[in-house]
Structure 1
Amino acid sequence: MFAARYDGTVPVKTTFNPKSLIRKRRHQEVEVEVGEDEDDEEREQQRSEKSSSEAEKNEDFGMEDVIEHDDIIENEQVKITAEIQAETPSENDETFSSKHASVFKRFTSSVHRRQQDGSQDDIPISDDEGVEASVLGPIPQPALPKDTKLMTSTTRTLDWLAEPQYSKVETMKPFAKLEPPIDAGIVKTLEKEFGISDAFSVQISVIETLLADQKKNILSPIPRGDLLVNAATGSGKTLAYCVPIVQALKNRRVPSIRAVILVPTRPLITQVYSTLLKLTKGIDLNIMAFKNEVSVKDEAEKLVAISGRPDIVISTPGRVVEHIQQNHMDLSQLRYLVVDEADRLLNQSFQNWCDILISEIDRASAQENISQRWRLKCTKMIFSATLTTDSGKLSHLKLFNPRLLVVNSSEGLVKELYQMPHTLEEMYFRIHASLNFYKPLVLLRFLTDFGSGDFTKAGLVFAKSNESAIRLARLLGIVAEEFGIPTKVASVNSTLSNSERQKIFKAFANGDIDILVSTDVLARGMSLDTIRLVVNYDLPLSTKEYIHRVGRTARANQAGVGLSIVVGDGEFKWFKKVVYGGAVINRNNKSVTEIAVVRNLEESEAQPRFALDLTSEDKARYEKCLLALEKEVFQR
């Protein structure tokens, strides 16, 4: 009855266990029975009848079969135990004594101890009495050493890069007396085309330095080093690098790209291009400006042409990168790389322009062997009124033996890398937040009533966006007409084409436009010498933008005023942060003047002062102008 429960393939354990021995014996009996002669049919039939009768009994009696089964197992255990005891060798057996005496002795003693202490089932699995409990935790570690405080690499000085060479702002010198001398033809061109004969301080420093390098390189190709120039806006930086480049290339035989000038905006491209066209009159040099109006394919045809290949290229960094990646530009003959408005260009990561351009220059120069071919190393010239001191940004330029030229009124102002024109007067006035709605009217009142009242001519007003500039220009025109103020207002912004902007600039320079409303598109590099007043209608977003905005006036040693309109306490806090952005601005020992806003000039003795008293009639007429502007907008 137990044969069906076991499989002959299952391994049999040899542990001393009565039940297992019973199963083993049953299993052996089954194997013996299976192996017997098959002709013994009667024995098989009896076993089958016995199994059938037992199965019928199990079905009929249920629990009685279980009890009978347990009794059978108990009898078998007793029987097996007796057999084991009979087969166990006695102590007198020599084999027992020699091989197993010690083992059975320990087994016997163990059995006696368990019988004395109780049954095996009562023995606890583990006993924690007398064992000290402990809580698992991390293994104690030695104290870690403290790191030293990391120092930032950003400083407010470039002394770590090069020893500054100072030049005073007031210094002037005739172009004809510079040493080494400038070509006589270039001096005549400066007098005829530009109407100037004296060089400003930055022009003296840069031109004399580069001409001295050119003279030394006649006998030796050893590179002299790159230039970093920190000078105020309007100090003449464009001519400072154009004159030495033209003099170095005027005798070239085969046209090839020998100078690349990078600027941040399209208007600045036009300005530099116009300057070079005037300066190269009578000199066989090809000047090319990359413009968005011309396709890359058309520009590439001129770059690879043999006869019309440019000598000087003016562009923004993005367009230069496009031509380099398409193998349109051969920079193997490059002698000068100019980065104008460097702080803005280095902040731009468009197409990773700096690394691509510098790597291409290095690759082209590495192909030449100085022992086999006379070739001059490319000189990099970095110009800005707000020269960055960030070592991370400057490192992308891979400067070689850099020389730092600082145009400053005092050598003691080492850390002031933001330069203000020394003829600039900075002013501001504050109005209550409740007058913000009438801010355009307040601006016109100031232009007509403050001082001599001639600020209605040649004024540049900065707004925060293209939409603001367009709206403000039209509203100022309507208000001026309503209040009888003879002022012509126009706006210029990035939505206009280059030709449209040039027409507006020309009209403004000729006096056909009195007030020009602009965005920051004009805040970099544009040279309009007729500007006498710059107004920050909307405050700039940074100190750098403030420097470049007010730097549109007081150019070329002419007088100029930079005015900021501050509304409410919130804007005043921001204005102080922008204008007094740390000890980094050189104001040439001048301060920012506050204009007192009063109702009546006779009631206040503050100097300077501005009388502002808007009557109910003034406010009503202004609101009428707003309705007229709204009507124009919706009629479109």
Structure 2
Amino acid sequence: MKFTELNLSETILEALEAMRFDECTPIQEKSIPIILEGKDLIAVAQTGTGKTAAFLLPVINKLNSGNYPEDAINCIIMSPTRELAQQIDQQMEGFSYFMPTSSVAIYGGNDGILFEQQKRGLVLGADVVIATPGRLLSHINLGYVDLSKVSFFILDEADRMLDMGFYDDIMQIAKLLPKERQTIMFSATMPTKIQQMAKNILHDPVEVKIAVSKPAEKIIQAAYVCTEYQKLGIIRVLFAQEPPEKVIIFASSKLKVKEVTKSLKMMKLNVGEMHSDLEQIQREQIMHEFKTGKVNVLVATDIVARGIDIDDIRLVINFDVPHDSEDYVHRIGRTARANNDGVALTFVSEKEQRDFKQIEDFLEKDIYKIPVPIELGEAPAYNPKSQSKGEFKRSEKKRRPGNSSFRKGGRQKGPKKGQN
């Protein structure tokens, strides 16, 4: 479906044409008409499906109908991270380029000037406020934020916000909003805690679900079936053969991120870490260093798996197997962007084999298994069906040096055609 087939104003269509937006994505096609009708919406869609436009376009369209108060906050958009808030604000500027709609992004940082700019936008009543929950509450608690005229309350990446501990903040903000409002929630997954929050803040919502997309075909996917103790050794061999350039390593917890980062620094690698224990200004500094190349390797929790646009990441490593297929797709989707190629490697320990098999089942293919470098010792056999019985069998076949995918002075041998 084309945007011209939706009930959007000519001014918005003009902006879309200038931005070379023509065809709707599935989430846009399904969500925009529902939002234009004024109904509450809960939409399940992953990053990269065009969900930001799915909620911004109809809200901008309605705000410019002339039925909303001037000099008042008419829309609140909640974002889990500063980076995503900035990205939404940038898209807001593009979509509303030919319209008088105003917006302000509210996020953390130790910059006093930035805080004053945010305060000014809130006091003057920007039409759209795009905010992280904690920073918006900081402004609210200072007594100059009026939310009494808010007509739209949007939660973007709701599951990620709950994972980061923002449930109480979101509910506190929701209680300050008018009961007569339109509430829109976007989430990549729909766990129980998201369903419970939806019951509390949405009224008779329409549900839209877009199936998780398979990873881009240009991403070369491969895995190492190994012991937990061989994982760092594999990284050492990988980076000894070819120095890293723009690599993200995903780990399952903040503690694991810190441990891996410490180990990689001992290998004399330029490493940064990203997790929710860091202050906002620290996270922004690390992202800046990573984007500019001062840091080559970023070790992170899933906090950066969604909503971060860096186009030249060539390698993603799953140090731990993600808990579900959706997280796997989000993680490896950080590579092979903007028509670039990319490689995604997953380290699969004995206890993670079952989870990895579920990912393979979702992808409907077997992911190529690279032999563990021979110098790291014997590796487990891949036998996920026996995991529940604890029957982990070591590979009985003795490896010959020729079986290793990494040779001295050589490059990694990728999977054969049809095995990626």
Give the TM-score of the pair, scaled to structure 1.
0.50
Contact 2:236 2:267 in 1 (8 A): no
Q: Residues 388-403 of structure 1: matches in 2 within 5 Å?
A: 388-390=191-193, 393-394=196-197, 397-403=200-206
Does structure 2 retain, via aligned residues, the 8 Å contact 1:250–1:285? yes
Question: How far off is 1:268 after superposition?
Answer: 1.7
Displacement of 1:611: 3.3
CA distance in 1 between partners of 2:58 and 2:361 (Å): 28
Are the aligned partners of 2:289 and 2:295 in contact in 1 as well (CA < 8 Å)? no
The one-letter code of the counterpart of 2:74 is R
Superposed displacement of residue 599, structure 1: 7.0
Query: Given residue 264 of structure 2, which amino acid in structure 1 is its aligned partner?
Result: L
1:491 aligns with 2:272: yes
2:344 is the counterpart of 1:549:
no
Secondary structure at 2:371 match in 1: strand
- For the Cα contact (< 8 Å) 2:336–2:343, is it kept in 1? yes
Cα distance change of structure 1 residues 287 and 437 upon mapping to structure 2, 3 Å threshold = closer
Cα distance between partner residues in 2 of 1:229 and 1:237? 9
Q: Closer, same or farther in 2 for the Cα pair 1:316/1:565, shift >3 Å?
A: same
In structure 2, the CA distance between the partners of 1:312 and 1:403, relative to structure 1 (3 Å rule), is same
1:607-622 aligned at under 5 Å gives the runs 611-612=404-405
521-530 vs 538-547, which moves further: 538-547
Residue 7 (structure 2) pairs with residue 189 (structure 1)? no
In the alignment, which residue of structure 2 is the partner of 1:58? none
Q: Distance in 2 between matches of 1:202 and 1:538?
A: 30
- Residue pairs, 1:588-627, within 5 angstroms: 590-597=364-371, 611-612=404-405
Q: Quote the Cα distance in structure 1 between the aligned partners of 2:361 and 2:78.
A: 26
- Residue 529 of structure 1: how far off its partner (Å): 4.2
Contact 1:231 1:407 (C-alpha < 8 Å) held by counterparts? yes
Task: State the partner residue of 1:278.
Answer: 94
In structure 2, how many angstroms separate the alpha carbons of the residues matched to 1:265 and 1:393?
22
Contact 1:233 1:551 in 2 (8 A): no
Give the CA deviation at 1:200. 1.7
Contact 2:31–2:55 at 8 Å: present in 1 too? yes
Deviation (angstroms), 1:207: 2.0
Cα root mean square deviation, aligned: 4.0
Matches within 5 A, 1:257-276: 257-276=73-92
- Aligned counterpart, 2:285: 500
Q: Which has the higher contact order (CA 8 A, sep 6+)?
A: 2
- Contact residue 444 and residue 476 of structure 1 kept, 8 A: no
CA contact under 8 A between 1:599 and 1:613: conserved in structure 2? yes
The CA distance in 2 between the partners of 1:187 and 1:558, in whole Å, is 30
- Paired letter, 1:468: V
Which blocks of at least 5 consecutive residues in structure 2 are unaligned?
Answer: 375-396, 411-420
Residues 270/536 of structure 1: CA separation in 2 closer, same or farther (3 Å cut): same
The farther-off stretch of 382-391 and 556-565 is: 556-565
Q: Distance in 2 between matches of 1:187 and 1:590?
A: 39
Cα gap change, 1:299 to 1:396, in 2 (>3 Å): farther
Q: Does structure 2 conserve the Cα–Cα contact (< 8 Å) formed by 1:259 and 1:311?
A: yes
Letter in 2 for 1:500: Q
Quote the Cα distance in structure 2 between the aligned partners of 1:598 and 1:300.
52
Say whether the 8 Å CA contact 2:323–2:355 is kept in structure 1.
no
Superimposed CA distance per residue, residues 509-549 of structure 1 (whole angstroms, 9 cap, x where no aligned partner): xxx68954231242232133444542113445677654542
Find the counterpart in structure 1 of residue 133 from structure 2: 317
**Displacement, 1:552?**
2.7
* SS, match of residue 346 in structure 1: helix
1:47-446 equivalences under 5 Å are 173-175=1-3, 177-180=4-7, 182-193=8-19, 195-211=20-36, 213=37, 224-250=38-64, 252=66, 254-293=70-109, 294=111, 298=116, 301-302=119-120, 305=123, 308-347=124-163, 349-350=165-166, 352-361=168-177, 364-365=178-179, 377-390=180-193, 393-394=196-197, 397-408=200-211, 419-423=212-216, 426-431=221-226, 435-436=230-231, 438-444=233-239
Q: Deviations over 1:109-143 (max 9, x none)?
A: xxxxxxxxxxxxxxxxxxxxxxxxxxxxxxxxxxx
CA distance in 1, matches of 2:339, 2:206: 26
Shift of 1:444: 3.0
Task: Looking at secondary structure, tell me which structure has more helix per residue.
Answer: 1
Structure 1 pair 516–244 and aligned structure 2 pair: CA distance change class (3 A) = farther
Is the contact made by 2:319 and 2:346 (CA closer than 8 Å) also made in structure 1? yes
CA contact (8 A) 1:262 1:338 kept: yes
Query: Structure 2 counterpart of 1:399, which letter?
Result: L
- Deviation, 1:349, is 5.0
* Superposed CA offset, 1:463-484 (max 9, x none): 542563476378474xxxxxxx
Is 1:472 the counterpart of 2:264? The answer is yes
Deviations 1:571-607 (A, max 9, x none): 23225336638xxx994x523513231779xxx9xxx
Deviation at 1:432, TM superposition (A): 5.2
Give the partner amino acid of 2:12. Answer: I
Q: Does 1:524 pair with 2:306?
A: yes
Q: Report % sequence identity.
A: 24
SS in structure 2 of the partner of residue 528 of structure 1? coil
**Cα distance in 2, alignment partners of residues 321 and 575 from structure 1:** 43
* Alignment check: 8 A CA contact 1:303 1:328 kept: no
CA 1:238–1:290 in 2, change beyond 3 Å: closer, same or farther? Answer: same
CA drift at 1:405: 0.6
| d(CA) in 2 for partners of 1:506, 1:279 | 26
- Give the match's secondary structure for 2:43: strand
Residue pair 2:272, 2:295 contacting (<8 A) in 1 also: no
> TM-score normalized by structure 2?
0.72
Asked whether the 8 Å contact 1:233–1:555 carries over to 2, the reply is no
CA shift at 1:317, angstroms? 1.6
Write out per-residue CA displacement over residues 375-403 of structure 1, whole angstroms, 9 at most, x where no aligned residue. Answer: xx421111121122447623563321111
Any idea what SS the aligned residue of 1:580 has? helix
Task: Report the secondary structure of 2:201's partner residue.
Answer: coil
For residues 126 and 334 of structure 2, the distance between their equivalents in structure 1, rounded to whole angstroms, comes to 31
CA distance, structure 2, for counterparts of residue 268 and residue 542 of structure 1: 23
Q: Secondary structure at the match of 1:302?
A: helix
Matching residue's letter, 1:206: S
Structure 1 distance, partners of 2:405, 2:330, is 29
Aligned AA (1:461): I
For 1:332, what is the secondary structure of its paired residue? coil
How far is the alpha carbon of 1:559 from its aligned partner? Answer: 7.4
Q: CA deviation at 1:563?
A: 2.3
Decide whether the 8 Å contact of 2:104 with 2:121 is kept in 1. no
